[in-house]
Amino acid sequence: MKLAIPALALLLLVAAVAASNHESLGYSDETTIAGPGTDACADGVLTYHHDDSFENGYAWRYMGVQPPYYGSWAEGYDLGQGMVYCGVYWLTTLPGYFNGQSSDCYIWEGGTDTQPDAVLGVVTGIVFGNVPNWPTTGQNDVDLNTAVTGPFTVGYWPNWPGSYAGFYCAADLDGVQGHPWTCIAPDSGFPTGWQDPSMVYGSTRSMGCGVYFLEGGTPIESGTWGSVKALFGR
């Protein structure tokens, strides 16, 4: 009988952790956006789906974040052939949560008419420099220099498997309809793989992921391809 209580406590702890793999900051209509300052991308045209305001912030944590990129946040675009010079990420956090956790920033193929698919480019080990406390969100520009020929998805994977969330991806709840995505890990209580965040968090119009994009030009091999091959053996 003495073992029953610890065993029950362990089961309750496991259940609690499983139930808390996803979290949100809660609705706010008084948010502000802090721009990138001197770290702004120098090339391309800033393109995004949100309406210059965000009403919530989302994150995966604990078992919700797993390699290679389960727990990612992303937004799909169809801008034609061109160059994605930078990924743009609007992020926020809570006091004491952000302690320099890194992220891998991605471009995936597809993401408008279909789910995101093949990795086109990735830059690993990025520590975002503009992550203010909620309800302020900060714009972070990251060089990606990835050629695309059609629909693509831009996003990031937060590098904290098995741990609490360091920061949150800003979410627009009442702007124009974009193409929001999150990649759900196995055994998270939801369908695995790329899904609309609305399935988990409620109605969501777009995620805080944009690009500096320049249309046209001849596609060239992305400078990030070596990193892609190292991660996926392609």
**What pLDDT does 133 receive?**
98
**Dist. CA 213–CA 187, nearest whole Å:** 36
Percent of the chain surpassing pLDDT 70: 84
Region 44-69: mean pLDDT is 97
Q: Is the pTM of this model over 0.95?
A: no
**Dist. CA 28–CA 48, nearest whole Å:** 20
Q: Which two tokens stand for residue 76?
A: 């799909």
Owner of token pair 């010079």: 85
Residue 81's pLDDT band (boundaries 50, 70, 90)?
very high
Region 30-41: mean pLDDT is 90
Percent of the chain surpassing pLDDT 90: 81
**What pLDDT does 230 receive?**
34
Owner of token pair 């210059």: 52
Has residue 92 got a pLDDT over 90?
yes
Q: Which two tokens stand for residue 54?
A: 């965000």
Burial grade of 221 (CB within 10 A; 0-12, 13-18, 19 or more): exposed
Domain segments of the chain as ranges: 28-232
Which comes out higher in pLDDT, residue 6 or 105? 105
**What pLDDT does 217 receive?**
52
Q: Number of helices and strands (H, E) in the chain?
A: 3, 15
H/E element, 45: strand 45-47
Region 6-17: mean pLDDT is 38
Has residue 2 got a pLDDT over 60?
no
Average pLDDT score over the chain: 87
Region 65-85: mean pLDDT is 98
Asked if residues 58 and 24 have their Cβ atoms less than 8 Å apart, the reply is: yes
Has residue 116 got a pLDDT over 60?
yes
The tens digit of pLDDT for each residue in 143-195 reads 999 999 999 999 999 999 999 999 999 999 999 999 999 999 999 889 999 99
Q: Which two tokens stand for residue 69?
A: 């990129």
Has residue 227 got a pLDDT over 50?
no
- Strands (E) in 53-129, as ranges, are 56-60, 73-77, 82-92, 103-109, 119-126
